[in-house]
Structure 1
Amino acid sequence: MRRPETNADGASAAITDAAAVARDGSLKGAQIVAAILKREGMKQIIGFPHSELLEASAEIDIPPVITRTQRVAVNIAEGYARVTAGRELAVVTVQYGPGVESSFGGIAQAYNDRAPVLFLPTGYPRGHEAVAPNFEARRNFRNVTKWCEAATRVQDLPKLMHSAISRLRNGAPSPVLLELPVDLLAESHDADLQDYRRPRRSVPQAGAEEIGELVDTLLRAENPLILAGQGVLSAQASAELTQFAEILGIPVMTTPNGKSAFPENHPLSLGTAGRARPATVDHFLAKADVVLAIGSSLTRSHYILPIPGDKTLLQITIDEADLGKDYPVALGVVGDARSVLLQMRDRALEDRTAIERLRPRTAALAREIHGVQAEFMRRWMPFLTSDAVPLSPYRLVWEVMNAVDPERTIVTHDAGNPRDQFCPFYRAVKPGSYIGWGKTTQLGSGLGFAMGARLARPDATVVNIMGESAFGMVGIDFETATRCNLPILTIVMRNNVLGGYAASMPIATRKFGANRMSGEYAPIARALGGHGECVAQPAELRPALRRCLDHVGAGQAALLEVITHEEGRLPGLYEA
């Protein structure tokens, strides 16, 4: 995707260029919105026609990213928002009616993932409100957005855009929706945007007494443990978390959404506490007496390891609605993860005697973590290096881990077995280098996440791993990657079944083969303008990965189809 040159004062240029388009010097509603988005630093607008915002943005040199499906457009925005930690605007626009209807799944996914996506769908012309069967965004998206409103007067657009973006940048990250009626976007108004002020980000702190109680509880604990959530990534607090864990000598595990918030090559890292997880998570969670959950909503989910009821649980979150929501907490604190970590660090350093007393424990802890991790890897290495045909999915995991540089790679996976087989082993070493998800798990989301990651980080190698069911949901949008110059590597594991579903429908499977699938996927990639190849033998896998990565490095999206066998044995759920 070509990005046009812009001058240093993007805001002034946006207003001047947009005004030049209107013959009478006034601005149309769409031009007002586009000018504000440019002032706010939006680099591209994602969506599917028809939306007046696509044309108004193009007038002021903001390029569109046009997808094949509306859901994938939202997925791209989510990937972009999460990789940039919400510091850059991720904006999606679609047409009213079918466009909005088709976007619902993507917005619901972003809501569960707490991704700050700005959704600006068009709406039916004013006067058609509450007319059945019209699908109005403001009425139907309230339960999957943080703020959901509709504009009714063109002169209110600057105020409403300020409100939307302010909510996007503050409090709990979440999608924000402003519905824009098509007649309002076409209406002209003598707007003066020179007085528009960009909303700032606020970073609330905790009270001194709360900080004292948090730190004192951790210092008194025999075996404290930190659970880091996505709020650490959103607050860009990974360095502060690492420093705090080192000072107090506390091991750290992450939630699936928080994976990469703590460097997983660090001596105090336990890995990710997902449904499938490394043995380090189970070992240290079992012995923990105090668990500090920071930047986590502590949501119970089938895909997230539950916290046993015998733990003293402390919670730090930006959203007051999270406190004690699913677990009883001994102390719940509302605050920005980075701000509160700095407060706790400063408070802990006041007690030098206690810190010095913890140093021997820290060294012993690092040795214990290393020992448990080494034994875990010893038990699973036969799976990771298996020469089975069809290939073991774990062999694919191992080859990917050895083929990419984790310092410059962003990886994601799709729901189900790809997540459960990849997440326990892959070590994410930099913040934002892994897009994990573990609350709602819509098949196919990983493709859009990967494109959004590449859009945010053109210098990164981006890899997503999918099953064939997931690819079937969104596969045609591989063409979006080729057309929009978003070279990513998509790996499709093909085992010709819906992995794991035979257990939930045994009769339908036995009598009718309800879990069966068929197809070839590398030819689809080639037909859509990318590089595609298929691997069936273990010895072919590493060279094929390298070829695909070379194509990605040269600017061409690639798809590697790997023929695997169904593998139901998962770390943490099966004793290797």
Structure 2
Amino acid sequence: MSFGAADYDPHLSAPTSKTRLKGAEIVAAILKREGLKQIIGFPNSELFDALAELDIPPVITRTPRVAVNIAEGYARVTGGRELAAVTVQYGPGAESAFGGIAQAFNDRSPILFLPTGYPRGHEAVTPNFEARRNFRHVTKWCEAIARIQDLPRLMHAALSRVRNGAPSPVLLELPVDLLAELGEVDLAEYRRPGRSLPQAGAGEIRELVGILLKARDPLILAGQGVLSSQASAELVAFAELLGIPVATTPNGKSAFPETHALSLGTAGRARPATVDHFMTRADVVLAIGSSLTRSHYILPIPADKTLLQVTLGEADLGKDYPIAQGVIGDARAALRQMHDEAAEALSGGEGRGARRAAVEREIATIRAAFMQRWMPLLTAESVPISPYRLVWELVQEIDPERTIVTHDAGNPRDQFTPFYQAVTPGFYLGWGKTTQLGSGLGFAMGAKLARPDATVVNIMGEAAFGMVGIDFETAIRCNLPILTVVLRNHVLGGYAASMPVATRKYGANRMSGEYAPIARALGGHGECVTDPAELRPALLRCLGEVRGGRAALLEVVTHEESRLAGLSPEMR
């Protein structure tokens, strides 16, 4: 689905004369015109019925936060090229959705958020929670509608912002009395907003490429902007032309195929040794499609690097790091410009084939040594099961070309990301700017909603499942068969170090419970594994259930594991 003005079809227009419609019907008609496939939300909104009348189904969750997480997963898998819209009830619904919108804001996810609002005239009445006042810092546009005749104009404004500029949630608050009000509108005058992709100037590109060509050991750091601009093929071509190794940010994982000989892997908190080796040695780092946000969960870039940045958002330039050159532009357009400029500069000169071959050999050597060091953990026969054994079984059994994988925050992310090689753009939903426990479950359902043909796997710890676990029923009821793997070790993994006294005296890091029975009680398939020899057969059974159309939960009883790739000196 594209958003160009040429896609406007006059035959989809409403009658040319003004029509009396309720506010909710006006919004629904516009969303129908925009190609909306489903409306996600909880628990009540006038938009559910108005859209159902137009054959657009609702996806009703158990919590507003998970509704937003589903919308984010959908938006990220489709690269923002299909509209992700979510609605919640005014007051407590909007309050509960705040965390999900904050997560989407940090993840740069283009979501249209349409919370209902208190009736007009109740503004600034304590303790009413007004979305337009409270979401301003976690959206890039946050407004409320006051007059029904303004609905088409403000919907156009909201959708234009969803589709243009740096991706981010966009909020339009819809008072409930306005949604029930009748008004005269001429929907034939509504035009779908187009999508504009900024392109850098030729001089900027020439200067940037010149720095790269003179670099001794350049490195490319690819972010989520490469995915949203569908620029993976262009990134591969550019990296191959210059023989430059490529790492990705956590959000950008899968932007560059990690089976490629120039791939270093993901530069997260935990990462393969290839990332550290080449980042340490690099003299120039090109960050393409990245906001270059500093985070505890993203490998920091050392201060001695010459840093180049290509981003869609002007506010990202030099935000967290001093940059030698910043370029505003769409990643795909910029990569094509850079490729043409570099190819012209190299024509008639010395080729880069020998350099590329040497870099590829070095990457392969370092990766092989890294895997050899970690193989005893990945293939461990210990009881309780090593979480790395689960990682290894997943790596062996799932097809990365047909499987969308996501994880939750904490140890599941840090233990899985360094070893899983993502190859299909958008088929790995990573996150590293904020890490709200439980988000992975909604992301997985959103991914399945976007790509029903794909197998979708979500890995989470028991604390994360405890925050959102009841929404496993949403996957069953809404026919979104996903596999959720829950690692159970009866502790908050890693948290004892931050509260040693409370842990020693009161067991503050302890958890209890069993989760496979919950999955079965909610109508899904659930089983628990305690023996490493039974892990692969159980995984295959669960994958079979998912492929047969039934959501499954695999509970794996593991021991707590503190060793993380890139962070444990004894494993480097």
Q: TM-score, normalised by structure 1?
A: 0.96
- Which residue number in structure 2 is paired with residue 5 of structure 1? none
Contact 2:219–2:245 (CA<8 Å) still a contact in 1?
A: yes
How far, CA to CA, are the matches of 1:11 and 1:551 in structure 2? 45
Asked if the contact 2:24/2:50 (under 8 Å) is kept, the reply is yes
Distance 1:354 1:302 in 2: 45
Change (3 A) 1:275 1:36: same
Q: Which amino acid aligns with 1:399?
A: E
Quote how far apart the aligned CAs of 1:357 are. Answer: 2.9
* 1:351 shift after superposition: 1.6
2:280 corresponds to 1:280? no
Report if the CA contact (8 A) 2:462-2:488 is conserved.
Answer: yes
**SS in structure 2 opposite 1:374?**
helix
Among 103, 111, 114, the alignment partner of 1:117 is 111
Structure-2 separation of matches of 1:414 and 1:257? 13
Matched AA of 1:246: E
The residue number in structure 1 matching 2:343 is 349
Alignment partner of 1:319 out of 305, 313, 317: 313
Matched residue, 1:495: 489
Deviations 1:63-112 (A, max 9, x none): 00000000000000000000000000100001100000000000000000
1:359 offset after TM fit, Å?
1.4
Q: Partner of 1:261 in structure 2? A: 255
Give the partner amino acid of 2:469.
G
Which whole-Å CA distance do the structure 1 matches of 2:563 and 2:144 have between them? 49
Describe the superposition over 1:239-282 as per-residue Cα deviations: whole angstroms up to 9, x where unpaired.
11111101111000000000000000000000000000000000
Alignment length (residue pairs): 563
Residue 340 (structure 1) aligned to one of 329, 334, 339: 334
How far apart, CA to CA, are the structure 2 residues paired with 1:123 and 1:173?
Answer: 24
Q: CA deviation at 1:197?
A: 1.0
Deviation at 1:384, TM superposition (A): 0.3
The residue that corresponds to 1:3 in the other structure is none
Residues 36 and 355 (structure 1), Cα distance of their counterparts in 2 relative to 1, 3 Å cut: farther
Please give the secondary structure, in 2, of the residue aligned with 1:233: helix
Residue 4 of structure 2 corresponds to none
- CA distance in 2: counterparts of 1:113 and 1:84, whole angstroms: 14
Contact between 2:73 and 2:446, CA under 8 Å: does it hold in 1? yes
For 2:415, the aligned partner's letter is Q
Aligned ranges for residues 187-206 of structure 1 at < 5 Å?
A: 187-206=181-200
Q: 1: distance between equivalents of 2:64 and 2:12?
A: 30
CA apart distance, 1:505: 0.1
Q: Give 2:536's aligned amino acid.
A: R
1:178 is matched with: 172
CA distance in 1, matches of 2:316, 2:346: 33
In the TM superposition, what is the alpha-carbon distance from 1:502 to its structure 2 partner?
A: 0.2
Q: Is the 8 A contact 1:14 1:35 kept in 2?
A: no
Corresponding residue number in structure 2 for 1:159: 153
Give the SS at the match of 2:188. Answer: coil
* Alignment pair present for 1:359 and 2:353: yes
After TM superposition, give the deviation of residue 15 of structure 1 in Å. Answer: 4.5
Give the equivalent residue in structure 2 for 1:328: 322
Q: Per the alignment, in what secondary structure is the counterpart of residue 485 of structure 1?
A: coil
Once the two structures are superposed, the pairs formed by residues 239-250 of structure 1 within 5 Å of their partners are 239-250=233-244
Q: Which residue of 1 aligns with 2:87?
A: 93
Give the partner amino acid of 2:273. A
Runs of 4+ residues over 6 Å off in structure 1: 8-11
1:452-471 matches, within 5 Å, as 452-471=446-465
**Alpha-carbon distance in 2 for matches of 1:255, 1:51:** 37
Does 2:550 match 1:556? yes
TM-score normalised according to structure 2 size: 0.97
Q: Is the Cα contact below 8 Å between 1:10 and 1:38 reproduced in 2?
A: no
Deviation at 1:354, TM superposition (A): 7.2
For 2:467, which of 468, 473, 477 is the aligned residue?
A: 473
Which residue matches 2:3?
A: none
Q: Between 348-357 and 28-37, report the one with greater CA deviation.
A: 348-357
Q: Matched residues in 1 for 2:241 and 2:148: separation?
A: 54
Alpha-carbon distance between aligned partners in 1 of 2:349 and 2:258, rounded to the nearest angstrom = 24
Whether the aligned pair in 1 keeps the contact of 2:43 and 2:64 (CA below 8 Å) is no
SS of match in other structure, 2:189: coil
- Report how far residue 489 of structure 1 moved: 0.1
Which residues of 2 match residues 217-232 of structure 1 at below 5 A? 217-232=211-226
Seen in structure 2, the aligned counterparts of structure 1 residues 503 and 191 have a Cα distance that, compared at 3 Å, is same
Residue in structure 2 matched with residue 295 of structure 1 by the alignment: 289
Paired residue secondary structure (2:351): helix
Q: Does 1:374 align with 2:368?
A: yes
* Conserved? CA contact 1:219–1:354, under 8 Å: no
CA RMSD of the aligned region, Å?
1.5
One of 477, 482, 500 as aligned partner of 1:483? 477
Instruction: Quote the Cα distance in structure 1 between the aligned partners of 2:545 and 2:323.
Output: 50
Provide the rounded CA distance (Å) in 1 between the counterparts of 2:218 and 2:352. 12
Among 143, 164, 168, which residue is 2:162 paired with? 168
- 2:203 pairs with one of 202, 205, 209: 209
CA–CA distance in structure 1, aligned partners of residues 21 and 245 of structure 2: 56
Deviations 1:502-537 (A, max 9, x none): 000000000000000000000000000100000000
Look up the match of 1:449. 443
The AA in structure 2 aligned to 1:262 is: F
Amino acid of the residue matched to residue 78 of structure 1?
Answer: E
Gap runs ≥5 in structure 1: 1-7
State the partner residue of 1:436. Answer: 430
Contact 1:11 1:35 in 2 (8 A): no
Q: What is the match of residue 57 of structure 1?
A: 51
Residues in 1 aligned to 2:522 and 2:194: alpha-carbon distance in whole angstroms: 42
Residues 355, 240 of structure 1: alpha-carbon distance in 2 compared, 3 angstrom cutoff: farther
- Name the CA distance, whole Å, in 2 between partners of 1:522 and 1:71: 23
Q: How has the CA–CA distance of structure 1 residues 10 and 96 changed in structure 2, closer, same or farther, with 3 Å as cutoff?
A: farther
Q: Kindly, what percent of the aligned residue pairs are identical? A: 77
Give deviations 1:162-204, integer Å, cap 9, x for gaps: 1101000111000000000001111111211112111111111
- In the alignment, the residues of structure 2 paired with residue 362 and residue 13 of structure 1 have an alpha-carbon distance, to the nearest angstrom, of 52
Contact (CA 8 Å) 1:296, 1:315: kept in 2 or not? yes
1:9-61 C-alpha deviation (Å, 9 max, x unpaired): 99866847xx9xxxx95111100101110111100000013100011000000
Q: 1: distance between equivalents of 2:165 and 2:9?
A: 27
